[in-house]
């Protein structure tokens, strides 16, 4: 939906009865942040209240060793540029834009660079990225384990693979990763392996331009994988063998 039209719709809704009951963010453009917070809350509640055991060779992504260290993926996502844009602009109302000229949110509240506590905390993101990258292989291991059960490829295996791939696409399209692999170089022809790094940087930049969408898709896929396995545990006939080795 074109941005202007979306904005008009959001404003119309805000003025209507719906706007009385729902926070502006629910009908404007901040759905990604809200879905993240809701999924995080539901996930934490479900992990504690309705734990599920590995079933038919599948390990729920919420119980994979990856997420035993929940704070890391949680903080990694919370400090992601996509989400920080959401809560800085829509919840904290500061800073409102990337453009320096627009950063004076109010005469009394000038943008002073990344010096306040929240913005400094967000800078931890580059370190959380390293942890996030280290966690990725575990998701592929869960996929591999699912293949070894009955030596078959099943629908659930594809769900785990899709989860691993979308998490990988989101993580490796990160802005901090872009900086790490080549964005920090001023002169490629002077740097060691400069051409290769330039190629890599340009390839990653393509994915990086879709980072916000990937942030949301990977989140929804993670949640879907959890729901799928909960459905299996509840006895729903949703898993089928697609291929036997």
User: Which of 67, 164, 174, 229 touches ligand FES by CB under 6 A?
Assistant: 174
Q: Who contacts 203 (Cβ-Cβ below 8 Å, separation ≥6)? A: none
- Is there a cis peptide before residue 95, judged by omega within 30 degrees of 0? yes
Nearest approach, Cβ of 85 to ligand FES (angstroms)?
Answer: 9
* Near ligand FES in 77-96, by CB under 6 A: 80-82
Nearest to 224 by CA among 166, 178, 173, 159: 159
Element containing residue 152 per DSSP (H, E): strand 152-154
Residue 176 binding ligand FES, by CB under 6 A = yes
Name the minimum Å distance from CB 16 to ligand FES.
Answer: 34
As a whole number of angstroms, the distance between CA 41 and CA 74 comes to: 11
> Shortest approach of ligand FES to residue 80 CB, angstroms?
3
In the chain, what is the greatest distance between 2 CA atoms, to the nearest angstrom? 67
Other CB atoms within 10 Å distance of the CB of residue 91: 13
Q: Which is nearer to ligand FES, 79 or 157 (CB)?
A: 79
Please identify, among the stretches 22-30, 34-42, 64-72, 173-181, the one whose residues bind ligand FES according to the rule CB under 6 A: 173-181
Distance CA 135, CA 122 (A): 20
Looking at the Cβ atoms of 77 and 154, the one nearer to ligand FES is: 77
Question: Looking at 33, 172, 215, 221, which residue binds ligand FES (CB under 6 A)?
Answer: 215
Q: What residues pair up with 153 in beta bridges, in sequence order?
A: 243
Q: How far is the CB of 213 from ligand FES (least distance, A)?
A: 11
Binding site for ligand FES (CB under 6 A): 80-82, 125, 129, 174-176, 211, 215
């Amino acid at each position: 939906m074109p941005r202007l039209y979306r904005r008009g719709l959001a404003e119309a809704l805000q003025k209507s009865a719906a706007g009385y009951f729902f926070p502006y963010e629910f009908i404007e453009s901040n759905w990604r942040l809200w879905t993240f917070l809701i999924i995080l809350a539901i996930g934490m509640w479900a992990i504690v209240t309705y734990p599920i055991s590995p079933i038919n060779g599948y390990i729920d992504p919420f119980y994979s060793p990856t997420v035993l260290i929940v704070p890391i993926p949680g903080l990694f996502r919370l400090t992601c540029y996509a989400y920080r844009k959401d809560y800085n602009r829509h919840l904290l109302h500061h800073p409102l834009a990337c453009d320096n000229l627009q950063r004076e949110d109010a005469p009394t509240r000038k943008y002073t660079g990344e010096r306040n506590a929240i913005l400094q905390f967000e800078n931890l993101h580059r370190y959380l990225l390293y942890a996030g990258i280290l966690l990725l292989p575990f998701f592929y291991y869960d996929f591999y384990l699912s293949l070894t059960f009955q030596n078959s490829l099943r629908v659930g295996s594809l769900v785990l693979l899709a989860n691993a791939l979308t998490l990988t696409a989101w993580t490796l399209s990160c802005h901090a990763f872009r900086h790490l692999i080549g964005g920090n170089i001023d002169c490629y022809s002077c740097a060691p392996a400069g051409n290769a790094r330039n190629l890599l940087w340009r390839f990653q930049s393509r994915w990086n331009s879709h980072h916000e969408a990937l942030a949301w898709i990977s989140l929804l896929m993670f949640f879907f994988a959890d729901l799928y396995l909960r459905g299996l545990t509840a006895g729903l006939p949703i898993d089928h063998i697609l291929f036997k080795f």
